[in-house]
């Protein structure tokens, strides 16, 4: 199974979908299309993993403190992003619609996402906590570009009102 090494996330108006252009090897890319419905189902699981990870040692953490801690962690992660050239799609091996995402690896090191397509396509993406926060910020901003209302925890939803701009490339 292929693993994404670097990827660009952007909303494509004509498709009304999020395009995940992923580089598997230098010069080799796949395009994965994510629907609003899929992202709406995926987002809570990703946010929950980060919240559990940060609050794992303290069961007394209340919701407001969780929002503050996660908000700070999100802002720090986004500020640590280094702008990069987007993944180019000139040498796209394939382009497909993601039907499901399997989530595994619930330890502190990283979360693994296995994107699956209808025709048996599969691509892995491994995200350590900081990279996951960065992608969540990017994903949320691109959903906002598309006018997609998403149910997100306050620490992520506040990103839109804070006016922070997120790049679309991550590796």
164 Cβ neighbours under 8 A, 6+ residues apart: 75, 78, 137, 141
- Tens place of pLDDT per residue across the chain (171 aa): 899 999 999 999 999 999 999 999 888 899 999 999 999 999 999 988 988 886 654 555 577 777 788 877 778 878 888 888 888 766 688 999 999 999 997 667 899 999 999 999 999 999 999 999 999 999 999 999 999 988 888 888 877 555 444 555 555
Find, among 158, 104, 145, the residue nearest to 113 by Cα. 104
Total domain count for the chain? 1
Return the HEC string of the chain: CEECCEEEEEEECCCCEEEEEEEEECCEEEEEEECHHHHHHHHHHHHHHHHHHHHCCCCCCCHHHHHHHHHHHHHHHHHHCCCCCCCCCCCEEEEEEEEEEEEECCCCCCEEEEEEECCCCEEEEEECHHHHHHHHHHHHHHHHHCCCCCCCCHHHHHHHHHCCCCCCEEC
137 and 74 in contact (C-beta within 8 Å)?
A: yes
What is the pLDDT at residue 60? Answer: 53
What is the pLDDT at residue 88? Answer: 77
Range of the domain at 77: 2-170
């Amino acid at each position: 199974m292929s693993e994404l090494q670097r990827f660009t996330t952007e909303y494509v108006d004509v498709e009304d979908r999020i395009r995940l252009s992923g580089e598997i090897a230098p010069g080799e890319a796949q395009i994965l299309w994510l629907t609003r419905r899929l992202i709406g189902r995926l987002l809570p699981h990703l946010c929950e993993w980060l919240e559990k990870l940060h609050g794992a040692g303290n069961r007394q953490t209340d919701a407001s403190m969780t929002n503050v801690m996660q908000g700070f962690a999100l802002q720090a992660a986004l500020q640590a992003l280094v702008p990069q050239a987007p993944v180019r799609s000139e040498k796209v091996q394939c382009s497909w619609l993601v039907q499901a995402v399997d989530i595994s690896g619930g330890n502190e090191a990283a979360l693994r996402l296995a994107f699956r397509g209808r025709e048996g396509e599969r691509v892995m993406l491994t995200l350590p906590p900081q990279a996951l926060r960065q992608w969540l910020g990017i994903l949320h901003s691109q959903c906002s570009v598309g006018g997609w209302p998403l149910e997100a925890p306050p620490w992520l939803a506040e990103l839109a009102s804070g006016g922070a701009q997120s790049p679309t490339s991550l590796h």
